[in-house]
Structure 1
């Protein structure tokens, strides 16, 4: 009984060992090739359970998902010979598994190194054909599309991979150029500020001069209206006085004399040197004589 159990266990272990050597699984995110003494005999093995010959066959698996190659920032020259520092990245995936294995021995780092060199050359050529404004804003998307299409052809022929996308994360000026650019920008902004300030002062002077002119006009018109009103008042007063004088000249003369007395003797220290029979004392003398007679 013990011998039978041991035999069964031995057969099971032998079956597991044989299965591990003859069966292999390719995941959904993987692609694989089967080698026979280093030579590819089965290309692009799809996901699932597959068989191989022990010892004779070997299986190489590769990541079938989209991979990212993040390049180091590089310095390029634009059409105006202005230096820029470009930080970019590439999205790629394996398109031809057999060709990828033959060109890179299945090493992703080798593929990234070759791809990085191609991208560097492509960016250098594309930036050299465009101005600073075009690479920063005007034709940036067009540049990336052209580079992706050109590089995709080369990558498929040489590495068996396809380029999904190429993007520039940022474009900076080198430190030695940034300071001069900032200084030029500062100078331009200061010049613009001076122009705006001078225009504002000119506008303020115009507004101030117009306000002064309007003030002079308003005062002159007010004075004109006041003189006209005063003239009308004097004319009306003269007409009233004339009417009163014609109605009773004696009373009018008496009334005017009383006004003269009031204004002349208004102060306590006033001193007049006049003749006693002066016309100015006409009504005073007559009133005094009347009192004495009574």
Structure 2
């Protein structure tokens, strides 16, 4: 009977030792085998492996797939112009070096979460401190990329590869929202006023240019008209001089008639002495002068 009990005990102990010594790693994980003596840990990939039973050796399974870390609460970050914003980041990462990760965290998920939260806060705080409020709202992807690069460098000693950071929320704290919205509205109104002022200035400039071109065109046309008129007056004077040379009496008569026409208008009444020199051509075609008698024919 005692032999049977002893055999059962031996079998049970052997099963327990075997179950704690043999383990299987699936393709989604790797195992870090560490010893209680503090010797260097070793890495076991997918498949069946054997190790010493605890407490001599332990196997810590580490997930090597891409995972996401989402902070439970939004953190406050200050921009370059001293405005606070509430930000929620989602960090996508993978454990690229399981041995470094195990050395830094002993494979504890909570330690990993705490370290990622701390490092991401530092990276985001630095990224937001470089930009003003307007850029923080309009350039969130660029800010996230800047923070990702900084976090990737900081997390490398932990064996973690940071793939990207996505900002799921960038908002104002409740106590600042109203003041910020009023400031944004005032800024937009100022921009609109500046645009209207610029448009009015450009319109006035166009109007002034058009008026100047009009004045230049009128002045040029007037100068051309005066030139043509002067040329016409010169030709008229030449014709008049030529006519005067041909028949001085007729020219005087014509000039007198022109003067009479220009002096009288319909309805005008003028009392003038008929013997006045003004009416001398009314007394005869030669202006009242005696016509010389024709010379008598000479007798031969």
Q: Same fold (TM over 0.5)?
A: yes
1:201 — aligned with what?
Answer: 200
Q: TM-score, normalised by structure 2?
A: 0.56
Q: Partners in 1 of 2:69 and 2:99 — Cα distance?
A: 22
Distance verdict in 2 for CA 1:95–1:235, change over 3 Å: same
1:150-202 deviation digits (Å, cap 9, x = unpaired): 3454x4xxxxxx31116320261236345544443332233233223323323
Question: Separation in 1 of the partners of 2:101 and 2:84?
Answer: 43
Deviation, 1:114, is 3.4
Pairwise CA distance, 1:71 = 0.6
Please state how far the C-alpha of 1:217 moved relative to its aligned partner.
3.8
Q: Counterparts of 1:232 and 1:217 in 2: how far apart (Å)? A: 22
Q: How many aligned residue pairs are there? A: 239
Gaps spanning 5+ residues in structure 2: where? 1-18, 35-40, 53-57, 286-300
Structure with more of its chain in helix, by fraction: 1
* Match 2:120 to one of 113, 120, 123: 123
CA distance in 2: counterparts of 1:120 and 1:29, whole angstroms? 24
Cα RMSD after superposing both structures: 5.0
Q: How do residues 132-147 of structure 1 correspond to structure 2 at under 5 angstroms?
A: 133=131, 136=136, 141=145, 143-147=147-151
CA distance in 1 between counterparts of 2:251 and 2:177 reads 98
Aligned twin of 2:217: 218
Any idea what the Cα deviations from partners look like across 1:239-269, whole Å, max 9, x if unmatched? 21221122123554676788899999xx9x9
Match of 2:90 in 1: 88
Contact 1:44 1:98 in 2 (8 A): no
1:133 counterpart SS class: coil
Unaligned runs of 5+ in 1: 1-20, 36-41, 54-58, 105-109, 156-161, 285-294
TM-score of the two chains, using structure 1 as the length reference? 0.57
Deviation at 1:95? Answer: 0.8
